[in-house]
Chains A and B, each alone.
Chain A
Amino acid sequence: MSVTTEPIIAAPRTGRIDPKYLRSKGSSGSFEMLTWLFMRLSGVLLVVLIFVHLFSNLMVGDGINGIDFGFVAGKWADPFWQFWDLALLWLAMLHGTNGVRTIINDYAERDGVRFWLKMILYVATVVIIVLGTLVIFTFEPCLVDGAGNLLEASPAFCETR
C-alpha cells in the first residue's frame, strides 16, 4: 500500500466573488452616521422654521397681499428674522444637498459620473448658501435713485431716517 499525497483541491468557488461586490475598505469614520442624524434633527427643526415662516408671511396682517419689497425689507431689518431666515437657508440647503447626495450615491452607476454629479451639487450648494447669507446680512432696504430720492417701493420706516 503506497502512501499517496492527497491532491489539493481548492474549495468550490474560492476567490470567485464578482469584484463588483467587493467593498473597498475605505474608512469613512462616522460621517454617514452624522449625516443620518443631521437629516433627522434638521428635519424636525425645518418643520418648525418653515411653518412659522409661512404663517408670518401668509396669515398674519394683510396675509399674502401684504408681501412686497417693503415687507421683506422690513423683516430683514429685524435681527430675529435675519437669523430665522439664515437658519432656514442653511438647514434647508444642507438637508436638501444631503438628500440629493444620497440619491446620487444610490443611482449613479459609474464612479466618474457619481463624482462629477456630486461636485456640481456641492458647488451649487456653496454658491447658494454664500449668496443667501450675504443677501440676508447686507440687504439695503432704503434704495435711492441717482438723485438721492427714495424709491417708491421702499418700506415706510425709510422716510423717518
Chain B
Amino acid sequence: MSTVTEAAEPASKVDLGTQGGGSGEIQSFDVTLKVRRYLPETSEESYWDEWTVTMYGTDRVLDALHKVKWEIDGTLSFRRSCAHGICGSDAMRINGRNRLACKTLLKDLDLSKPILVEPIKGLPVEKDLIVDMDPFFQSYREIMPFLINKGPEPTKERLQSQEDRARYDDTTKCILCAACTSSCPVFWTDGQYFGPAAIVNAHRFIFDSRDDAGDLRLEVLNDKEGVWRCRTTFNCSEACPRGIQVTKAIAEVKQAVLNRTF
C-alpha cells in the first residue's frame, strides 16, 4: 500500500472551461406536433392528430414523439431503436422532407407552425408512422449485398489498398433507413423501381476491389426497373441522413453498366 498521497482526481480530465448553469439555461419552447395517424383497427381512413408539448433546445423530433407517446397518447406508434442516427429505424417525413426523427433538432425547424410528421411515402402504411419495409428489403436482397469472392478462402483478412477502399467509402455509410428510396418520385409511382438504397448498396460491392460479382449486380440493375429509371431529381441525396451522394453513386453504376457493354 502506497503512502504517497495522490492529488484528488478532478471531476473531469478534460478541461471544460467555464460552464453554464445546466439545463436551466437551455431554452424551452412549446412545440405543436401534427402527426398523420392511421389506426387500421378503428378506421380505414388516416387523419391528422395534434399535440402541443413543452420541449427544450436540445430535444429532437423523436423526443417530442416520445413525450406524446409516454405522457399523452400511448397509441401513437413509430419505430425507433438506437435513437442516435445509426440503426435507421425512425425515418419519417418531417415538414415534407424525409429525415431521421432522432437527428432532427426541434430548434432547427420553424416552430411558429405545427411540425408535420408523416410516414415515409411509397411503402404501405401499417400503423401511424410504421410502414411495411418488406418491398424495400426485397430490392436490397436482390442486389446481393454481401461479398462474393471466387478465389480461395484466405487465412487472414483480405487486404486492400487505401485507394481501393476509398473508391466506395461513401456508399458504406448506408444505414438502410429507406429515407432515400421513399423520397424518390419514381419509386412513388408504382413501387417497381429498385430504388436508391438498393443501388447504393450494390455500388458498395461493385466498386470493392475484393468483390468478384460486380457483373452479376450490374446485370440485375440493367433492368427495366433498375438504374435507368433514375431521373436524377436528387431527392435521395437531399434525404440521406448520412450525407451519401446517392445520385452520384447511381450515376457511377450507370456508367459501369455502359462500360461493361461497350
Interface membership of B108, Cβ < 8 A = no
Please determine whether A33 and B134 come into contact, CB atoms closer than 8 angstroms.
no
Bits for A99-122, please: 1 = Cβ < 8 Å to B, else 0. 000000011010000000000000
Interface membership of A21, Cβ < 8 A = yes
Query: Closest residue of chain B to A26, judged by CB?
Result: B224
Query: Closest residue of chain A to B185, judged by CB?
Result: A106
A1-46 interface (Cβ within 8 A of B): 13, 16-18, 20-21, 23, 26, 28, 30-33, 35-37
Please determine whether B228 and A33 come into contact, CB atoms closer than 8 angstroms.
yes
| Nearest chain A CB to B130 CB, angstrom units | 13
Answer whether A106 and B257 are a contact pair too, CB < 8 Å, given A20-B191, A26-B224, A28-B223: no
> With a CB–CB cut-off of 8 A, which chain A residues contact B185?
106
Q: Which of B132, B254, B261 contacts A18 (CB 8 A)?
A: B132
Q: Which of B138, B222, B229, B231 contacts A30 (CB 8 A)?
A: B222
Please determine whether A32 and B135 come into contact, CB atoms closer than 8 angstroms.
no
Answer whether A106 and B189 are a contact pair too, CB < 8 Å, given A23-B225, A33-B222, A37-B258: yes
Bits for B239-251, please: 1 = Cβ < 8 Å to A, else 0. 0000000000000
Category for how many chain A residues contact B: 10 to 19
Please determine whether A107 and B191 come into contact, CB atoms closer than 8 angstroms.
no
How far, in angstroms, from A17 to B41 measured CA to CA in the complex?
A: 20
How far, in angstroms, from A109 to B132 measured CA to CA in the complex?
A: 21
Please determine whether B134 and A17 come into contact, CB atoms closer than 8 angstroms.
yes
How far, in angstroms, from A21 to B124 measured CA to CA in the complex?
A: 10
How far, in angstroms, from A37 to B222 measured CA to CA in the complex?
A: 13
Please determine whether A32 and B189 come into contact, CB atoms closer than 8 angstroms.
no
Bits for B208-241, please: 1 = Cβ < 8 Å to A, else 0. 0000000000000011111011010000000000
Answer whether A18 and B135 are a contact pair too, CB < 8 Å, given A32-B224, A36-B228: yes
| Nearest chain B CB to A13 CB, angstrom units | 6
Please determine whether A106 and B192 come into contact, CB atoms closer than 8 angstroms.
no
| Nearest chain A CB to B192 CB, angstrom units | 6
Number of CB contacts from chain A to chain B under 8 A? 49
Query: Closest residue of chain B to A25, judged by CB?
Result: B223
How far, in angstroms, from A22 to B257 measured CA to CA in the complex?
A: 23
| Nearest chain A CB to B87 CB, angstrom units | 18
Please determine whether B192 and A21 come into contact, CB atoms closer than 8 angstroms.
yes
Specify which of A16, A20, A106, A109 lies most central, judged by the most chain B CB atoms within 10 Å of its CB: A106
Interface membership of B186, Cβ < 8 A = yes
Answer whether A33 and B191 are a contact pair too, CB < 8 Å, given A18-B135, A21-B138: no
How far, in angstroms, from A20 to B132 measured CA to CA in the complex?
A: 13
Specify which of A31, A33, A37 lies most central, judged by the most chain B CB atoms within 10 Å of its CB: A33
Query: Closest residue of chain B to A107, judged by CB?
Result: B189
Answer whether A33 and B189 are a contact pair too, CB < 8 Å, given A16-B134, A17-B138, A21-B135: no
> With a CB–CB cut-off of 8 A, which chain A residues contact B163?
none
| Nearest chain A CB to B236 CB, angstrom units | 16
Q: Which of A20, A21, A106 contacts B186 (CB 8 A)?
A: A106
Please determine whether A17 and B261 come into contact, CB atoms closer than 8 angstroms.
no
| Nearest chain A CB to B2 CB, angstrom units | 58
The chain B residues found within 8 Å of chain A, CB to CB, are 124, 132, 134-135, 138, 185-186, 189-192, 222-226, 228-229, 231, 254, 257-258, 261
A-B contact pairs, 8 of them (CB 8 A): A13-B134, A18-B135, A20-B191, A26-B224, A30-B222, A30-B261, A37-B258, A109-B189
Besides A18-B135, A23-B225, A109-B190, 11 other A-B contacts (C-beta < 8 A):
A13-B132, A17-B135, A18-B124, A21-B134, A21-B191, A23-B223, A30-B222, A32-B222, A32-B224, A32-B226, A33-B222
What 3 pairs between A and B have smallest CB-CB spacing?
A21-B135, A32-B228, A28-B224
